[in-house]
Chain A
Amino acid sequence: RKEVEQDPGPFNVPEGATVAFNCTYSNSASQSFFWYRQDCRKEPKLLMSVYSSGNEDGRFTAQLNRASQYISLLIRDSKLSDSATYLCVVIGNTGGFKTIFGAGTRLFVKA
Chain B
Amino acid sequence: DTEVTQTPKHLVMGMTNKKSLKCEQHMGHRAMYWYKQKAKKPPELMFVYSYEKLSINESVPSRFSPECPNSSLLNLHLHALQPEDSALYLCASSQGDRSYEQYFGPGTRLTVT
**Residues of chain A whose beta carbon lies under 8 Å from any beta carbon of chain B:** 31-32, 34, 42-46, 49, 87, 89, 91, 96-104
Number of A-B residue pairs at CB separation under 8 A = 50
The interface-forming segment of B12-20, B74-82, B94-102 is B94-102
Top-8 shortest CB links A-B: A101-B42, A32-B99, A43-B104, A96-B56, A97-B98, A31-B99, A97-B97, A46-B101
Q: How far is the CB of B89 from chain A (nearest CB, A)?
A: 11
Q: How far is the CB of B29 from chain A (nearest CB, A)?
A: 13
Q: How far is the CB of A59 from chain B (nearest CB, A)?
A: 20
How many B residues have CB within 8 A of the partner chain? 22
* Chain B, residue nearest A91 (CB): B99
Q: Provide 12 A-B residue pairs closer than 8 Å at the C-beta atoms, listed in order of the A residue.
A: A31-B99, A32-B98, A42-B106, A46-B102, A91-B98, A96-B55, A96-B56, A97-B97, A98-B45, A101-B42, A102-B42, A103-B41
